[in-house]
Amino acid sequence: MATIATPPTTYQTKILIGDQWRDSVSGKTFSTINPATEEVIAEVAEGDAADIDLAVTAARNAFESGPWASMDARDRGMLLMKLADLMEARLEELAALETLDNGKPISDARAADLPLAIDCLRYYGGWADKIQGATIPIRGNYFCYTRREPVGVCGQIIPWNFPILMAAWKWGPALAAGKTVVMEPDEQTPLTCLRIAELAFEAGFPPGVINVVPGFGPTAGASLVKHPNVDKIAFTGEHHTGKIIMKDAAATLKRLTFELGGKSPNIVFADANLDDAVAGAEFGLFFNQGQCCCAGSRLFVEDSVHDEFVERVVERAKERVVGNPFDGDTTQGPQVDQAQMEKILGFIEKGKEQGADCLIGGSRVGDQGYFIEPTVFDNVTDDMDIAQHEIFGPVMNILRFKDVDEVIERSNRTMFGLAAAVWTSDVTKAHRIASEVRAGTVW
Ligand code: ADP
């Protein structure tokens, strides 16, 4: 019997600008909600254009003068390492805070989000003094070389599905390179980002290097994108938002780095080790309540093993433990908020209407907290909404295929191209999928 973890009871809820934790200029706050109970956890300062402007000024000053601007690369790296150490020392506290604000099972926060975030900061800490340019032989009596220089102030906009890990993915490379950052965490899950910003101070990052402005996308996020003193935007979120950001950034010709949505094919061939493939399909879809941009959300299964595979994957889905995310035995917590829950239930209804077979699940669990049953649809076809759109929930969609040419063609019939996976014992086939399925990552 696993123990129940204890949620933290105190939170940082203010805006971080320079070395100050402040209320918003407007005085406004918003509620952050515990998705397992629907109760308000805390009121958080709601930043908008005025707060972003102050944060950008602090970041600009820290970039251009003061200790950060003249710090040796190695020392920047050491600060990232120190932050990683502090997070490691508080792993349980941070995991519990993430579980409280996001709803993910504490076992996942402990085993995945925190260790991965800590690894990421250490990894980039190691890069800080290894960022090199090149010498270039050119015609004539010239010495030609390149230097890699930090771009300046980086605006960073992150989603709610892996709040602490997203912050680490964005801070690590930017700070290793010597940029300063203004981060806008998602309004659903601001608490861990604010807490690790406190730890960054403890680690010794100079004021203004890291600024955090919680708020809403169309106000705080958009003003960060439009701000003339921000040199670059790094964004992870929905592709619709990516389009808005690209437009908004055009006026100031900002550099952009995006990680957007996906509808990733997970392809199971008949010659795969089915134990591994079933476990991989379950993890690839249900991990994090299905709230992963790279979720294996189109599960293609070869005809000859289809029936056996489906039976086994359904058995595994039935074994998932949905409930209190603070219970160490729980494997599936609530969705992050009511809007997401309703969107997912809407897709489930569409799947039923359009003729897919709902083998298990399909409904909300209980009436408090945003829990959804692990759901498996079989006999899904390419044109159905559940096969086309990002559901971002615990909804597995199984599609049949007959041969390798067909599955490659169908895998590519999507506007996304984030990730893909293949299960086979034929290495030739695996490499063919890796090269012909258009995806940024193929497992
Ligand atoms: P999600 O459903 O994952 O929240 P979004 O793309 O809506 O996906 O949000 C991801 C992040 O983008 C959040 O931090 C949100 O506040 C921010 N955001 C949303 N709209 C905008 C916008 N118009 N400009 C800048 N940032 C935005």
User: Could you give the residue numbers annotated as active site?
Assistant: 259, 293
Nearest residue to 261 (alpha-carbon basis) of 333, 161, 381:
161
- The first and second tokens of residue 61, run together, are 């000053």
**Distance between CA atoms of 171 and 296, rounded to whole angstroms?**
27
Instruction: Report pLDDT for 2.
Output: 73
Give the pLDDT confidence of 159-176 residue by residue, as tens digits: 999 999 999 999 999 999
Q: Which long-range contacts (CB under 8 A, 24 or more apart) does 106-111 make?
A: 106/5, 106/325, 106/326, 106/327, 106/328, 106/330, 107/2, 107/328, 107/329, 107/330, 107/331, 108/287, 108/288
Percent of the chain with pLDDT over 90: 100
Q: What is the DSSP letter of 217?
A: I
Locate the ligand 1 atom nearest the alpha carbon of residue 244 and give its number: 23
Q: Stretch 250-265: mean pLDDT, rounded?
A: 97
Cα–Cα–Cα angle for 234, 236, 239, rounded to 5 degrees: 115
Find out whether the beta carbon of 102 lies less than 6 Å from any atom of ligand 1: no
Q: CA neighbours within 13 Å on the CB side: how many for 362? A: 13
Find out whether the beta carbon of 217 lies less than 6 Å from any atom of ligand 1: yes
Nearest residue to 268 (alpha-carbon basis) of 257, 251, 280:
280
Q: Stretch 59-80: mean pLDDT, rounded?
A: 97
Find out whether the beta carbon of 348 lies less than 6 Å from any atom of ligand 1: no
Helices 163-177, 114-127: crossing angle, 10 deg rounding: 10
Cα–Cα–Cα angle for 415, 117, 370, rounded to 5 degrees: 65
Nearest CA to ligand 1 atom 17: 217
Instruction: Report pLDDT for 391.
Output: 98
Give the pLDDT confidence of 303-332 residue by residue, as tens digits: 999 999 999 999 999 999 999 999 999 999
CB 349 within 8 A of CB 372: no
Give the pLDDT confidence of 5-40 residue by residue, as tens digits: 999 999 999 999 999 999 999 999 999 999 999 999
Rounded to the nearest angstrom, the distance between the alpha carbon of 217 and the centre of ligand 1 is 5
Locate the ligand 1 atom nearest the alpha carbon of residue 242 and give its number: 6
Locate the ligand 1 atom nearest the alpha carbon of residue 158 and give its number: 14
Rounded to the nearest angstrom, the distance between the alpha carbon of 431 and the centre of ligand 1 is 35
Map tokens 């299960």 to a residue.
423
Find out whether the beta carbon of 225 lies less than 6 Å from any atom of ligand 1: yes
Instruction: Report pLDDT for 166.
Output: 98
Cα–Cα–Cα angle for 264, 122, 154, rounded to 5 degrees: 70
Nearest residue to 61 (alpha-carbon basis) of 247, 244, 211, 219:
211
Find out whether the beta carbon of 245 lies less than 6 Å from any atom of ligand 1: yes
CA R_g for the chain: 23
**Which uninterrupted H or E stretch holds 397?**
strand 395-401
**Distance between CA atoms of 230 and 44, rounded to whole angstroms?**
24
Mutate to test the pocket of ligand 1, among 186, 188, 193, 294 (most ligand atoms within 8 A of CB): 186
**pLDDT class for 1, splitting at 50, 70, 90?**
low
Mutate to test the pocket of ligand 1, among 51, 157, 184 (most ligand atoms within 8 A of CB): 157
**Distance between CA atoms of 13 and 441, rounded to whole angstroms?**
36
Give the pLDDT confidence of 224-256 residue by residue, as tens digits: 999 999 999 999 999 999 999 999 999 999 999
CB 157 within 8 A of CB 242: no
Find out whether the beta carbon of 238 lies less than 6 Å from any atom of ligand 1: yes
Rounded to the nearest angstrom, the distance between the alpha carbon of 345 and the centre of ligand 1 is 21
- The first and second tokens of residue 325, run together, are 């995310």
**Distance between CA atoms of 70 and 229, rounded to whole angstroms?**
20
Find out whether the beta carbon of 222 lies less than 6 Å from any atom of ligand 1: yes
